[in-house]
Amino acid sequence: MLVRRLAALLFSFTVLISCAQPATQRGAIAGTSKNKVVRGEYGQVTLPDVDRVSIQDGKLVLHAASSSVTVELPAGADTSKPTRHWALTTDTSAGDQTAYTFTHAESLDDFTIELPSADGQLRYGVFEHGQSGEVMALAWAGKGRSYFGWVTIAGK
């Protein structure tokens, strides 16, 4: 009798563990730049990949082949006012992190951020943020994980 209860308990515990979602990885993003202050955060999402991104009702939507996830952008991000001044100019893999450098098309200011490495393409869009800044929305996937993030970009 005791053996059956223990077996049932062990089975239930195993099922619970196998159904549980893995802990989501979250972190801060601190960019480096001579002329800009770049700060933000990233988080892991439960998608197998990120095929495309869109904006719906002021939120970032990450789309995979058969599902999508909606995430919030920081307060003050005006998704109705995209800016197209930032270009991804270099990316350098360093083990479990990849450094991405973005350069402004007009001022030639640049900044570098480090994100968890992935073997997929980094997708990004930039929008006006507050009075004089911008917010960059980010999405990437690979190595079995998908991520979203954002950084605010402001003058020093």
In this predicted model, what pLDDT tens digit does every residue of 26-70 receive, in sequence order?
A: 899 999 999 999 999 999 999 988 999 999 999 999 999 999 999
pLDDT at 18 over 60: no
CA distance 150 to 43: 10
What is the spatial distance between Cα 14 and Cα 35, in angstroms, rounded to a whole number?
Answer: 53
DSSP state of 10: H
Mean pLDDT of 83-109: 93
Longest dimension (CA), the chain: 77
pTM passes above 0.95: no
Dihedral, 93, 38, 88, 137 alpha carbons, nearest 10: 100
Using CA atoms, how far apart are residues 96 and 94, in angstroms rounded to an integer?
6
Per-residue pLDDT band for 147 (boundaries 50, 70, 90) equals: very high
